[in-house]
Amino acid sequence: MSSAIETQAEARNVIPLRVVALLAFCNVLWAGSAVGSKYALVSFRPLTLTVLRFLPAGLLLLFVVRWQGKLPKIQRDDVPYFFALGLIGITITYSLFYTGLEQTSASNASLLIACEPIMVAVFARIFLRERLNRSQWFGMLLGLLGIYIIAGNAWGNWIVLLSLCFESTVSVIAKRLTGRYPGLFVVAVEFLIGSALLLPFAIMEWQKSSHNITSEAIAGWLYLSLGCSAFCYGVWYRMLERYPVSAMGVLLLVQPMVGPFFGWLLNSEQLTARSLYGGVLVIFGILITTWRKRDPNPAVGSQ
């Protein structure tokens, strides 16, 4: 009976309540990724950490796909899309993100990560000529003001923002590929391509760095690779096969609400008034920008 309900929900683009709970849980884990990354960056430089995070996760997910059945064959026309997904989604995004994170707080990074829905709306308006109504324009501008307030004059914040600009472009590519291949396969190939492209540079970085590997850094790396990457990305891409990106993206709001708490609890960070005010503006901006009039087939619902 439950599977029949979920099938009907998928047909109406409704996300069942237990799937919403699972996606929200993934965002809670992602909210702690900035703190986990700060721990790991004590022992591993940005390029090295990117490879250490995504290469094992990609191999693990590929093993799961193979265990479930035969590995799909990538069609020639889709090769450039897989390459772009790995290059933009992993190589560029996380090299920049970890470089910026070294120079800012985990709390600020958590707030900035949640700006992606605003950035997606900006890019959709610029490149796809999507129309926005007055309230959406207001929400987008409100969110952009919040981003500016959070970033301030901190160079690390702007590097993190740049990384998120790149990451915001990959959802369209990922959605296209998950319509043709299993979600776990898509994200596994993304991880492996992105890691492979970065591996030579990570090796050079490792050779030039001092090595004082702490237990906290190991814990942070395992949390990022197994929890935030293999599990969370695996779940997210699996659900991407079934539900709209816009509906799932709303759940990113969990991160700015939980991330600063992790920063305070695990890294003794204090959220500044500037970051707090900017975070509130960003959250309201996202809510206004992504809000749609309720229809008979809502994007997010329950069983």
Confidence bin at 216 (pLDDT 50/70/90): very high
pLDDT digits (tens, 9 = 90+) for 158-179: 999 899 888 877 877 887 898 8
pLDDT for the residue numbered 124: 62
Asked whether residue 300 carries a pLDDT value surpassing 50, the answer given is no
Residues 106/97, Cβ–Cβ less than 8 Å: no
Given pLDDT bands bounded at 50, 70 and 90, which one contains residue 51? very high
Q: Is the pLDDT reported for residue 115 higher than 60? A: yes
Of 293 and 246, the structure prediction assigns the larger pLDDT to: 246
DSSP β-bridge partners for residue 300 = 15
Residue 38 predicted with pLDDT over 90: yes
The per-residue pLDDT for 77 is 93
Domain boundaries, the chain: 2-290
Structure confidence at residue 277 (pLDDT):
80
Whole-angstrom Cα distance, residue 42 to residue 215?
11
CA–CA separation, 97 vs 158, rounded Å?
Answer: 10
Whole-angstrom Cα distance, residue 103 to residue 154? 8
Question: pLDDT class for 230, splitting at 50, 70, 90?
Answer: very high
Instruction: Give the pLDDT of residue 5.
Output: 38
Alpha-carbon distance of 260 to 34, in angstroms, equals 10
pLDDT at 3: 43
CA distances from 150 to 103, 116, 165, 263 (A): 14, 14, 16, 15
Q: How confident is the model at residue 296 (pLDDT cuts 50, 70, 90)?
A: very low
Q: What is the pLDDT of residue 299?
A: 35
pLDDT value of position 120: 67
| Mean pLDDT value across residues 198-219 | 93
Identify which has the larger pLDDT, 120 or 128.
120
Tell me which of 127 and 10 has the higher pLDDT. Answer: 127
- Cα–Cα dist 110/101, whole Å: 10
pTM of the model: 0.81
pLDDT confidence tier of residue 297, bands split at 50, 70 and 90: very low
Q: What number is the average pLDDT over the span 102-123?
A: 77
Q: Which is higher by pLDDT, 296 or 57? A: 57
